[in-house]
């Protein structure tokens, strides 16, 4: 309970500080109830019905930038969520997330929103080989969060709103520490929010600039650390070099295709262990072809990629012929960005990638 009170205090301080501003914003609270999805037989002993409390702050995007208009003027949300799993093995968690709320429809008294977000989560009772060896879903104190939700909001008056939601939350440390089965929580939510300065919610029409389609030649260098075995005292580095060609399809969509080349010391470790008495060992390097979509909103973008291996001599634990990559980019300059991505084989995470990239060629082609 002490963690809960600390969470409330921090949020209230931040909210009180924000109230002097004249720009409109929301503060609110959600009460969540749900269940842990059994996505693997390995977590059957951890089926629970957790409770959660979420406090959040929403910022309105009311400008005339093209992406704001294309997404029907979304909101940026910052949330702090306290989960009580009501299971002594998993314990409790506190998550800090940053989210986008994209309007699906907007009426005078009600609206619906799609929520997509990411962040970090702190676990009070992670895996411990001596004290908590059955917790195979949260093995590290800190893990990554991915969230998606569908919200329906009803305006009681110009300040107060009633909220309901259906949300899916995923926690994983990206194989930084094993075991890493991850946890998926489906919840239903009820709550309320209060809007400050609602009279200043004025949606500015887009200025409709001329859109120029562009070709991009991009490179990305990603690095991560993983474990190859449970309770391993050291980490293995994973390096990935990506070379891609991108084509702008619209002001918010960019189609990307290219090649990934990866060097995983975790795979190399498995090879050396399996072929320790052999003079001939398979290559640990891998090459794959990649296609994906980059969805742009301002200086940030959400990325979905699908890759297929075309060169892979060794099949590692939990390997598949294909993989997915999800993540966020932040553009510090129109040609330079950094990002955080999760690479996974179906439901099994391979690594969390910290990435820096750039666009080295940019050719304009008018519509």
Task: Using alpha carbons, select from 223, 44, 221, 58 the residue that is nearest to residue 137.
Answer: 44
Q: State percent of the chain over pLDDT 70.
A: 91
DSSP 159: S
Burial of 356 (0-12, 13-18, 19+ CB in 10 A): middle
Annotation: CATH topology of 2-200:
Porin (2.40.160)
Q: Which residues pair with 301 in a beta bridge?
A: 296, 329
Alpha-carbon distance of 335 to 194, in angstroms, equals 39
Mean pLDDT of the chain: 89
Beta strands in 197-299 (DSSP E): 212-226, 236-248, 253-264, 285-297
- pLDDT score of 318 more than 50: yes
Task: Using alpha carbons, select from 103, 145, 100 the residue that is nearest to residue 301.
Answer: 100
- At residue 208, the pLDDT reads 66
Burial of 27 (0-12, 13-18, 19+ CB in 10 A): buried
What is the CATH number that goes with domain 212-366? 2.40.160
In this chain, the answer to whether the domains covering 2-200 and 212-366 adopt an identical fold is yes
- At residue 279, the pLDDT reads 84
Beta strands in the chain (DSSP E): 25-36, 51-60, 75-84, 92-106, 110-123, 142-155, 160-172, 183-196, 212-226, 236-248, 253-264, 285-297, 300-312, 322-333, 336-345, 348-366
Q: What is the mean pLDDT of residues 31-39?
A: 93
Alpha-carbon distance of 29 to 12, in angstroms, equals 11
Alpha-carbon distance of 206 to 70, in angstroms, equals 9
Phi/psi region, residue 175 (left: phi>0; alpha: psi -120 to 50; beta: rest), is left
Phi/psi region, residue 220 (left: phi>0; alpha: psi -120 to 50; beta: rest), is beta
The answer to which of 10-14, 115-119, 183-187 has the lowest mean pLDDT is 10-14
Q: State percent of the chain over pLDDT 90.
A: 67
Task: Using alpha carbons, select from 58, 139, 51, 140 the residue that is nearest to residue 97.
Answer: 58
- At residue 185, the pLDDT reads 95
Measured in degrees and rounded to the nearest 5, phi and psi for residue 198 equal -65, -25
- At residue 14, the pLDDT reads 60
17 versus 136: the higher-pLDDT residue is 136
- pLDDT score of 104 more than 90: yes
For residues 222 and 353, is the Cβ–Cβ distance under 8 A? yes
| Domain ranges across the chain | 2-200, 212-366
- At residue 206, the pLDDT reads 62
Task: Using alpha carbons, select from 112, 92, 16, 104 the residue that is nearest to residue 52.
Answer: 92
Of the pLDDT bands very low, low, confident and very high (cuts 50, 70, 90), residue 20 is: very low
- At residue 365, the pLDDT reads 46
Task: Using alpha carbons, select from 189, 5, 25 the residue that is nearest to residue 94.
Answer: 5
Alpha helix positions (H), 45-164: 66-70
Q: Which residues pair with 221 in a beta bridge?
A: 241, 356
22 versus 26: the higher-pLDDT residue is 26
pTM of the model: 0.86
Of the pLDDT bands very low, low, confident and very high (cuts 50, 70, 90), residue 213 is: confident
For residues 317 and 307, is the Cβ–Cβ distance under 8 A? no
Q: What is the mean pLDDT of residues 288-300?
A: 93
Q: What is the mean pLDDT of residues 105-111?
A: 91
- pLDDT score of 348 more than 90: no
Task: Using alpha carbons, select from 194, 171, 163, 145 the residue that is nearest to residue 32.
Answer: 163
Q: How far is CA 35 from CA 32, 83, 208, 298, in A?
A: 10, 11, 45, 35
The answer to which of 193-207, 270-284, 313-327 has the lowest mean pLDDT is 193-207
For residues 49 and 37, is the Cβ–Cβ distance under 8 A? no
């Amino acid at each position: 309970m002490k963690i809960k009170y600390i969470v409330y205090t921090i949020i209230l301080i931040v909210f009180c500080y924000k109230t002097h501003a004249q720009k409109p914003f929301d503060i609110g609270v959600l009460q969540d109830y749900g269940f842990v999805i059994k996505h693997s037989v390995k977590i059957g002993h951890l089926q629970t019905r957790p409770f959660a409390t979420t406090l959040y702050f929403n910022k309105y995007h009311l400008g005339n930038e093209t992406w704001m208009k294309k997404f029907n003027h979304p909101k940026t949300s910052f949330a702090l969520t306290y989960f009580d799993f009501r299971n002594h093995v998993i314990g409790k968690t506190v998550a800090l997330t940053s989210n986008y709320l994209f309007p699906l429809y907007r009426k005078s008294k009600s609206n619906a929103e799609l929520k997509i977000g990411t962040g970090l989560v702190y676990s009070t009772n992670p895996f411990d080989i001596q004290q908590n060896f059955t917790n195979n879903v949260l093995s590290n104190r800190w893990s990554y969060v991915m969230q998606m939700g569908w919200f329906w909001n009803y305006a009681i008056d110009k300040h107060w709103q009633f909220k309901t939601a259906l949300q899916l939350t995923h926690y994983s440390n990206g194989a930084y520490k094993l075991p890493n089965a991850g946890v998926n929580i489906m919840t239903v939510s009820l709550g309320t929010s209060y809007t400050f300065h609602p009279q200043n919610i004025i949606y500015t029409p887009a200025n409709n600039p001329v859109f120029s389609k562009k070709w991009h030649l991009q490179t990305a260098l990603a690095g991560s650390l993983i474990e190859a075995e449970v309770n391993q005292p050291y980490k293995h580095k994973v390096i990935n070099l990506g070379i891609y060609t991108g084509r702008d399809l619209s002001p918010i969509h960019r189609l990307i295709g290219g090649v990934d080349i990866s060097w995983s010391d975790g795979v190399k470790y498995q090879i050396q262990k399996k072929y320790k008495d052999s003079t001939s060992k398979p290559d640990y390097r891998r090459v794959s072809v990649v296609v994906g979509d980059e969805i742009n909103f301002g200086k940030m973008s959400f990325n979905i990629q699908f890759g297929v291996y075309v060169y892979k001599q060794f099949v590692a634990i939990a390997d598949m012929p294909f993989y997915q990559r999800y993540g966020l980019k932040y553009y510090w300059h129109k040609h330079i960005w950094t990002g955080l991505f999760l690479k996974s084989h179906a439901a099994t995470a391979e690594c969390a990638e910290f990435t820096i990239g750039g666009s080295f060629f940019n050719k304009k082609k008018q519509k």
